[in-house]
Amino acid sequence: MARLLVVEDNKDLAELLAKGLQGAGFTVDSIATAADAEHVLATNRYALVVLDLGLPDGDGSMVLRALRTRQDSTPVLILTARGGIQDRVKGLGEGADDYLAKPFAFEELVARIHALLRRPGEILGRSFKVGNVTFDTVGRQVFVDDAPEMLSARELAVLELLMRRSGRVVPKAHVEDHLYGLSGEVRSNAVEVCVHRLRKQLADVGATIHIHTVRGVGYLISEERP
Amino acid sequence: MIPRFHSILGRIAALHVLAFGAAAIAVLMATYVLLNSTAASFENQTLRAHADTIASYLSRGPDGRWTLNLPADLRTFYAHGFGGFAYAVIDANGRVISSSLRGQGAISREARDSGSAQYFSRTKGKASYTGASIPEHVGGATVRIEVAQDLEHPDVIFDDIVANFLRRVVWFTIPIMLLLLVADIVIVRRALRPVIEASDMARSIGPERMNLRLRSRNLPLEVRPLVDAFNAALDRLEQGFRQQREFTADAAHELRTPLTVLRTRLDTFPDKSAVRDLLRDIDAMSHVVNQLLDVAELEGVVVNPAETAELGTVCAEVAALVAPIAVGQGKEVALIQGQSPVRVRGNAAMLFQAVRNLVENAIEHTPVGTTVEIVVGEDGKVCVVDEGPGVPPDERDLIFRRFWRRDRTRTNGSGLGLSIVARIAEAHGGSIRVEYAPAGGAAFTLSLLPAINPSRL
């Protein structure tokens, strides 16, 4: 079970985050000051740090810098309430792995933590589900309403990539790279062809997910509205 | 009328020319007068010496007859008019006793009654001469001896000396004046060099380099108060900037923290269906708070002129961010751009926010089942086209105003999104306008300045 450190000075929020993250299957330690955070991080190992930037005894970015100076690569997800338009890109530049502006949706925080831990399947068992489609990462098998569906290796690869980032746009170049890693040669329209076939097959068996094309950008899987 | 000079050098040079000119004229006039009077008294002395010489050869016989017995050389001298001299001896009754003139006449026509010497000058046709009438006492009687000198005679040099002197002095004065002006230029240039350096320094001070101050070392004392006052003004300005930034950041923290607590509390609430409406309200409120904070942040923002952004990348990020929202509403987002990157002057984060607001606005107004297109032009323009009702011409200026909403009863949106776009466009030296799209929807065009080729900087 992944152990997280939450550095947040607002007592209510720290408690709510701890409770919520525990509910999502994490072990959580809470710390309220930058000094305590530096002390705790120097002596303990965490799977990930959720770091608030506005702390009573200093800026959270100092904690981040101290961590990176020690060559500690523990993933850090920054939370900030102060950030303006121009600060939104700064956190990532200073060695943070991700950045979430307050107020945020709790689901979004959990999704980002999963993405940073690079073990999305592990937390939810070894499979993940969007709508009535389940992807079994171990058996490399797709089920629609519990009925197994036969897909080619390419189709499986694309579907897995999109389902892992369900609700978010996956850039087309990213999908192409993924296919390239699989077969070594990708024709210019290989992704389009593959997505087209996937859509048709999913629709034929009554899947409630849909692969949207965001023209000029990439693809997006979403659950169809009932 | 004194012309107004804008440069210190101009003023100094002009005053120097005036003062020098006046001094030169005064000196020349004084010199002329002095030289003239010296020459005149010298001439008079010469005339008197001639009269005395002539008188010494004058004698009176017992019968009262006057005899002038000039030696041969003097007779020749006067007869040939050497040196342009002429004489006439006149007795007390006005009779001419002797004269070097051909007509044996007097030089001066006027009767001379005065007992003292008289000097005169005459111009007769082309000739001008100066003369003296000197009373001489010879043998107990008084005669007048008139002596005149023709000034046009080549042996006469007094007046030529004066005239030549003046001409030469003028030629001598002009180089001195030019030298003075060159000295002026050198002095002013040297004195103002630290001022020019300070100006260059001042030019490089911007919102990103607020900590710079002008050095008052090496500056002329006269300019130092200006520089000190400028530095003090910068201190106040920097403090103002910092206070505004801190206030915005503090306000952001104070507003967002309770919203985050509330939002997380609802998010972790066991019964999701009970809180759905509350979550939507909190999202709307968070949206308004974020936009208000954006407005406050943009109030004093100045874009670093050296910063550039790639418009295609910015728009792709916006499309990726908002596409799930559009898809959730049954709408679509498409990005259309050419092959080559489009580099514009500006801050990527601010441009991102501007394009995002445009696209979110378009998604809100485009009907279900339609697509919002983001078109990146190679000329540094982004066009966001929807298929909604479009913006009628009489509202095209209003929609970029703060808090303007067509329908005030609608609670979604803050009426700030487009005003933020307008402010960001303005801060980037660009523009935003809206027209009808060919298909009838709204077409917003954000125009930005193409980045200057770095090789030309």
pLDDT tens series, chain B, 457 aa: 455 667 778 888 888 888 888 888 888 888 888 887 887 888 888 888 888 888 888 888 888 788 888 888 888 888 776 667 888 888 877 788 888 877 777 777 665 566 788 888 777 666 677 888 888 888 778 888 888 887 766 566 666 676 777 777 778 778 888 888 898 889 888 888 888 888 888 888 876 677 788 887 778 888 888 888 988 998 998 888 888 888 888 888 889 999 999 999 999 888 888 888 999 899 889 988 988 888 888 887 888 888 899 999 999 999 999 999 999 999 999 999 998 999 999 999 999 999 999 999 999 999 999 999 999 999 999 999 999 999 999 999 999 998 887 776 665 667 889 999 999 999 999 999 999 999 889 999 999 999 876 544 4
Q: Which residue of A has its CA nearest to B265?
A: A16
A162-197: per-residue pLDDT in tens?
Answer: 988 888 899 998 888 888 776 666 677 888 999 999
Q: What's residue B2's pLDDT? A: 53
Minimum-distance CB partner of A169 among B256, B267, B324: B324
CB atoms within 10 A of CB A216: 19
Q: What's residue A125's pLDDT? A: 52
Tell me the residues of chain B between 231 and 260 that have a Cβ less than 8 Å away from chain A. 248-249, 252-253, 256-257, 259-260
List the one residue out of B439, B441, B399 whose CA is nearest residue B421. Answer: B399
- The per-residue DSSP string of chain A comes to --EEEEE---HHHHHHHHHHHHHTT-EEEEE-SHHHHHHHHHH---SEEEEESEETTEEHHHHHHHHHHTT----EEEEESS--GGGTTHHHHTT-SEEEESS--HHHHHHHHHHHHT-HHHHTTTEEEETTEEEETTTTEEEETTEEE---HHHHHHHHHHHHTTTSEEEHHHHHHHHHHHHS---TTHHHHHHHHHHHHHHHTT-SEEEEEETTTEEEEEEPP-
End-to-end CA distance of chain A: 35
**Interatomic CA distance for residues B123 and B403, integer angstroms:** 99
Disruptive mutation site among A8, A17, A61, A85 for chain B (greatest number of B CBs within 10 Å): A85
In the β-sheet with A76-80, what is the strand arrangement from edge to edge? A27-31, A3-7, A48-52, A76-80, A98-101
For strands B66-68 and B85-90, give the pairing: unpaired
Minimum-distance CB partner of A168 among B257, B262, B324: B324
> In this structure, are residues B425 and B382 in contact, taking their beta carbons and an 8 Å threshold?
no
Q: What's residue B32's pLDDT? A: 80
Q: Is A11 on the interface with B (CB under 8 A)?
A: no
Q: How far is CA B241 from CA A78, A90, A206, B38, B246, in A?
A: 26, 20, 59, 79, 9
Which residues, including other chains, have CB under 8 Å from residue B135's CB and lie 6 or more apart? B112, B114, B115, B116, B117, B142, B143, B144
Scored b (16 or more CB within 10 A) or e, B237-265 reads ebeeeeeebeebbeebbebbbebbbbbbb
> In this structure, are residues B363 and B385 in contact, taking their beta carbons and an 8 Å threshold?
no
> In this structure, are residues A138 and A182 in contact, taking their beta carbons and an 8 Å threshold?
no
Q: What's residue A186's pLDDT? A: 65
**Interatomic CA distance for residues A101 and A153, integer angstroms:** 38
Tell me the residues of chain B between 413 and 452 that have a Cβ less than 8 Å away from chain A. none
**Interatomic CA distance for residues B149 and A168, integer angstroms:** 121
Q: Is A208 on the interface with B (CB under 8 A)?
A: no
Q: Is B302 on the interface with A (CB under 8 A)?
A: no
In tens digits, what is the pLDDT along chain A, a chain of 226 residues? 789 999 999 999 999 999 999 999 999 999 999 999 999 998 999 999 999 988 888 888 888 888 888 888 889 999 988 777 777 655 555 778 888 889 999 988 998 898 888 654 444 457 778 888 988 888 888 999 888 888 888 888 899 889 888 888 999 988 888 887 766 666 778 889 999 999 999 999 888 999 999 999 999 998 876 4
Q: Which residue of B has its CA nearest to A212?
A: B327
For the record, the structure tokens of B19 come out as 């003062």
Which residues, including other chains, have CB under 8 Å from residue B379's CB and lie 6 or more apart? B450
CB atoms within 10 A of CB A33: 15
Minimum-distance CB partner of B350 among A13, A20, A86: A86
In the β-sheet with B431-436, what is the strand arrangement from edge to edge? B332-337, B371-376, B381-385, B442-447, B431-436
In the three-class reduction of DSSP (H, G, I as helix; E, B as strand; rest coil), residue B215 is classed as coil
> In this structure, are residues A153 and A143 in contact, taking their beta carbons and an 8 Å threshold?
no
Q: Is A85 on the interface with B (CB under 8 A)?
A: yes
Contacts of A218 in chain B (CB under 8 A): 320
Q: How far is CA B271 from CA A23, A153, B263, B275, B276, in A?
A: 14, 40, 14, 7, 9
Q: What's the one-letter identity of residue B141?
A: A
Contacts of B336 in chain A (CB under 8 A): 215-216
Q: Is the ipTM of this complex over 0.90?
A: no
What is the pTM assigned to this prediction? 0.67
Q: Is A222 on the interface with B (CB under 8 A)?
A: yes
**Interatomic CA distance for residues A115 and A122, integer angstroms:** 11
Q: How far is CA B364 from CA A125, B125, B370, B413, in A?
A: 38, 109, 11, 9
Q: Which residue of A has its CA nearest to B283?
A: A103
List the one residue out of A158, A212, A167 whose CA is nearest residue A190. Answer: A158
Q: What's the one-letter identity of residue B427?
A: A
Indicate the Cα dihedral angle A22, A89, B283, B286, nearest 10°.
Answer: 110
Q: Distance, in angstroms, between A216 CA and closest chain B CA?
A: 5
A30-56: per-residue pLDDT in tens?
Answer: 999 999 999 999 899 999 999 998 888
Q: What's residue A59's pLDDT? A: 81
Q: What's residue B412's pLDDT? A: 63
Q: Is A169 on the interface with B (CB under 8 A)?
A: yes
**Interatomic CA distance for residues A52 and B153, integer angstroms:** 112
List the one residue out of A10, A187, A91, A23 whose CA is nearest residue B269. Answer: A23
Which residues make beta-bridge pairs with A128? A135
Q: Distance, in angstroms, between B329 CA and closest chain A CA?
A: 9
Q: What's the one-letter identity of residue B78?
A: Y
Q: Can you say whether the dihedral through the CA atoms of B254, B256, B259, B261 is positive or negative?
A: negative
For the record, the structure tokens of B150 come out as 């023709």
Q: Which residue of B has its CA nearest to A170?
A: B320
